[in-house]
C-alpha cells in the first residue's frame, strides 16, 4: 500500500468520504460496517416465497449477495450510503394528463449518479491511496439499499417501504459505495411513523398489505414499468391517472412537507414534458417518445409499454 495510506487513520478516511460526498452534491452520507444482514434474511426469504416480487424475477437472483456485501466486494469493510434529492419544483401543468413519477422528470438517475460515484472512487484513491478498492451501486445490482441507508443513520424505512429522512422526507435516490477500507460507522435512527397510516389508506391498489410490507406485484409502479404483459382488468379505475410509476404513498406522507426542490440540473424536466396536454399524451408517437425521453428512466417501459399504460388509464 502507498505511504499516504499508512500516514492516515480511520478518522481521516471517514472525514474524506464525508467531504467528497458533500462536494459531489449528495444531500446525505452515512456509513455502516459491511456485514451479513442477519435480520433481513428471513424477511427477504418470506417476501419471495409469497411471490410479492411478481414478474421481477431478478429479485430471486443472488440471494446471498443481497445479504452479504463481502460477496459483492471481496474484503469489503464499509458500506457508504448516499442520498440525492430529486424533489422537483415543477409540476405537470395539465392536471388531466397522464402522470409520471417525479423521479423520471429529468435525466435517468442511473446515469447521473453513476458519473458522480465514479468520480467519488477516483477522488478517494487520489486522497487516500490508489490501493483503495470497492464498487459503486445505484439500484442496478443485488444491494438492499434502503436497509444499508437505515443502518447508516440516514433515516428509517416507513410503512410504505421507502426510506424517510426526518429533515427532508423521502424523495431521494439511494446509492452505495462498498469499500475495502474501515471507516467509522454512523448510528441508526428511530422510526417516526408512529400511528400514521396515510400511505396505507391512500394506496388505490392496496399494495401496502401491512405496515412495512409492500406486495410489489400489486403496486402501480410495478404494473406500469415492470409488468410486460397486459395489466389485469380488475385494476381498471384504480390508477388515478398514473402512466409511469406512482408517487401516491409519498405524496400523502406528512414527512414530505419538509421536501425542498433539488439542486441537480440533470434532473430538471424539459419544458415540453411539463406542458404536455392529455390529448398529446394519448396521441404520442414513437418519434416524440424517443425525443422526449431520450435520456429518461421512462425509456424502461418502452414506447409500447407507455402506450399500453395510457390506454389503460384512459378507460378509467
Task: Note the pLDDT tens digit of each residue in 44-80.
Answer: 666 556 655 555 544 454 556 677 888 888 999 999 9
pLDDT digits (tens, 9 = 90+) for 279-304: 999 999 999 999 999 999 999 999 99
Task: List b or e across 129-163, with b for residues whose CB sees 16 or more CB atoms inside 10 angstroms.
Answer: beebbbbbbbeeebbbbbbbbbbbbbbbbbbbbbb
Buried b (16+ CB within 10 A) or exposed e, 219-248: bbbbbbbbbeeebeeeeeebbeebbbbbbb
128 closest CA partner among 5, 277, 283: 5
Give, for 85, the enclosing helix (H) or strand (E): strand 78-85
18-36 pLDDT, tens digit per residue, is: 999 999 999 999 999 999 8
Q: Which of 68, 94, 139, 180 is catalytic?
A: 139
Angle, helices 109-127/10-23, rounded to nearest 10 degrees? 140
Name the grid cell of 32. 455502516
243 by DSSP, 3-state: which?
strand
**pLDDT tens, position by position, 134-191:** 999 998 666 789 999 999 999 999 999 999 999 999 999 999 999 999 999 999 999 9
Question: Catalytic site residue 139?
Answer: yes
Structure pTM?
0.91
Amino acid at each position: 500500500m502507498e505511504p499516504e495510506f499508512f500516514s492516515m487513520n480511520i478518522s481521516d478516511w471517514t472525514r474524506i468520504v464525508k467531504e467528497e460526498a458533500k462536494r459531489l452534491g449528495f444531500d446525505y452520507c452515512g456509513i455502516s460496517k459491511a456485514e451479513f444482514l442477519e435480520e433481513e434474511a428471513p424477511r427477504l426469504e418470506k417476501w419471495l416465497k409469497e411471490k410479492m416480487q411478481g414478474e421481477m424475477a431478478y429479485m430471486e437472483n443472488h440471494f446471498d449477495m443481497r445479504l452479504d456485501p463481502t460477496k459483492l466486494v471481496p474484503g469489503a469493510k464499509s458500506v457508504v450510503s448516499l442520498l440525492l434529492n430529486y424533489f422537483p419544483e415543477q409540476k405537470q401543468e395539465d392536471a388531466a394528463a397522464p402522470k409520471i413519477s417525479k423521479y423520471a422528470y429529468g435525466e435517468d438517475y442511473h446515469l447521473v449518479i453513476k458519473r458522480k460515484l465514479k468520480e467519488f472512487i477516483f477522488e478517494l484513491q487520489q486522497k487516500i491511496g490508489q490501493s483503495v478498492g470497492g464498487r459503486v451501486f445505484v439500484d442496478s445490482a443485488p444491494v438492499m439499499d434502503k436497509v444499508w441507508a437505515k443502518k447508516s443513520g440516514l433515516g428509517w424505512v416507513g410503512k410504505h417501504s421507502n426510506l424517510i429522512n426526518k429533515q427532508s422526507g423521502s424523495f431521494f435516490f439511494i446509492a452505495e459505495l462498498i469499500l475495502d477500507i474501515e471507516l467509522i460507522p454512523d448510528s441508526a435512527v428511530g422510526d417516526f411513523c408512529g400511528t400514521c397510516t396515510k400511505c396505507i389508506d391512500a394506496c388505490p391498489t392496496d399494495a401496502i398489505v401491512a405496515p412495512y410490507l409492500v406486495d410489489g406485484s400489486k403496486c402501480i409502479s410495478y404494473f406500469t414499468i415492470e409488468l410486460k404483459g397486459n395489466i389485469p382488468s380488475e385494476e381498471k379505475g384504480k390508477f388515478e391517472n398514473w402512466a409511469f410509476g406512482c408517487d401516491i404513498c409519498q405524496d400523502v406522507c406528512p414527512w414530505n412537507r419538509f421536501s425542498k426542490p433539488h439542486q441537480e440540473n440533470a434532473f430538471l424536466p424539459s419544458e415540453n414534458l411539463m406542458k404536455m396536454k392529455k390529448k398529446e399524451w394519448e396521441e404520442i408517437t414513437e418519434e416524440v417518445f424517443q425525443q422526449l425521453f431520450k435520456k429518461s428512466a421512462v425509456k424502461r417501459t418502452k414506447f409500447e409499454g407507455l402506450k399500453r399504460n395510457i390506454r389503460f388509464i384512459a378507460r378509467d
